[in-house]
Structure formats: structure tokens, C-alpha cells
Amino acid sequence: MEDKSLLTLVSQRTFAARRKTIGLRMAPMIDMIFLLLLFFLVAAKWRPAEDSLPFKLPAASAQQIRIGAPQPMVIYISAIQDGCTVQIGNLYCVRIEDKTIEADLTALMQKIADCMNAQKRFASDPVEITCQSDVKWQYVAKIYNMFFGAGLTDITFMMTEHQNNDNANHPHK
């Protein structure tokens, strides 16, 4: 029986060695993890913190006042029997008549100067002339020439569409 027990003992030891499960060896695995960690730390590109916007502010300078385009000074010209009336905005009204045209144009120029001083305007500011359709061209031309001679260079005419009553009643004429 001793033979059997010896044989059993040898076979148990042999099979016991075979039955041992093969375990993972942790030391080489830890070494690999540290090597990979070191590789990624060295190979990584570190970006700076994005705590500011990438633009430059302009250098400080003296305060500049930016003024938009000024509103035009509106001149209304309407016809009267012996001349015309010139309304300068809501401030002044000058009557220009055939008999006293030179004196009336001088008075108009004085009122224009007063209006420009009151509104703190410059000669380069726009002037807009609005005429009624029945104003004689000679008055419009003289007023325009006087403005241009006084140094007002930005003069425009307001165009309005005027419909004749005869055409409104008979559209097929």
C-alpha cells in the first residue's frame, strides 16, 4: 500500500503542479503602465489657459468727437403774387418781391446767417430747398446763386410729384 500511497503522492504532486492556475505577473504590468504614463506626459502638447481674448485694444488717445451727418437746413419757397416767400425752417420767413428784390435777398442772406449761428451750423452743412410748383424759376435761381455765393456748397432740391387736377379727372387725355 505504500506503493499506492507513494504513487498517489507523486501523482497528486504532479497534477497539483499542473492544476496551479497561471496568474498574471503584476510587476512587469506596473512597469508598462508607468512607461506609458511617462510617454504620454512627454509627448503631450500643453496649451496655455484660455483666460483672455486674443486681440489688442487701440492705444489711448485724445477724445475725438464723432459727429454723424448733420440734418439739412430746410428752405421752403412758395409763390405769392409779386414774388415769393422763403421760410427758413421754423425760424424765419422772408418775403421777396419784384420791386425790392435786391434788399429782400440781402435780408434773406442775413436771416440765413442768423439761422446758421443759432443752430451752430457750418457752410459745408447740407441745405435742402423745397419749392412749390408755381414758384417762378427766376426766384429759385437767384436764391440758389445767393446761397452758393455765400459759400453754401451742399445744396439740394427736394423733388415732389405734383398731380394736375385736369389729369386726375380725365386720365385718358
Question: Which CA distances in Å does 82 have to 12, 100, 162?
Answer: 142, 10, 23
CB 153 within 8 A of CB 123: yes
Residues of 77-112 as b/e, b for ≥16 C-beta within 10 angstroms?
beeeeebbbbebeeebebebeeeeeeebbebbbebb
Residue 57 lies in a domain: no
Rounded CA-CA distance 100/75 in Å is: 20
Nearest to 151, CA basis, from 117, 119, 113: 113
More confident residue, 27 or 23: 27
Residue 166 lies in a domain: no
166 three-state secondary structure: helix
Residue 104 lies in a domain: yes
Residue 137 lies in a domain: yes
pLDDT at 170 over 50: no
Number of domains making up the chain: 1
Residue range of the domain that includes 137: 76-161
Taking only the tens place, the pLDDT of each residue in 114-129 is: 988 888 888 888 999 9
Residue 52 lies in a domain: no
DSSP string covering 1-30 = -HHHHHHHHHHHHHHHHHHSPPPPPHHHHH
Residue 103 lies in a domain: yes
pLDDT at 167 over 60: no
Residue 40 lies in a domain: no
- CATH classification at residue 150: 3.30.420
Residue 80 lies in a domain: yes
Local confidence band at 27 (pLDDT 50, 70, 90 cut-offs): confident
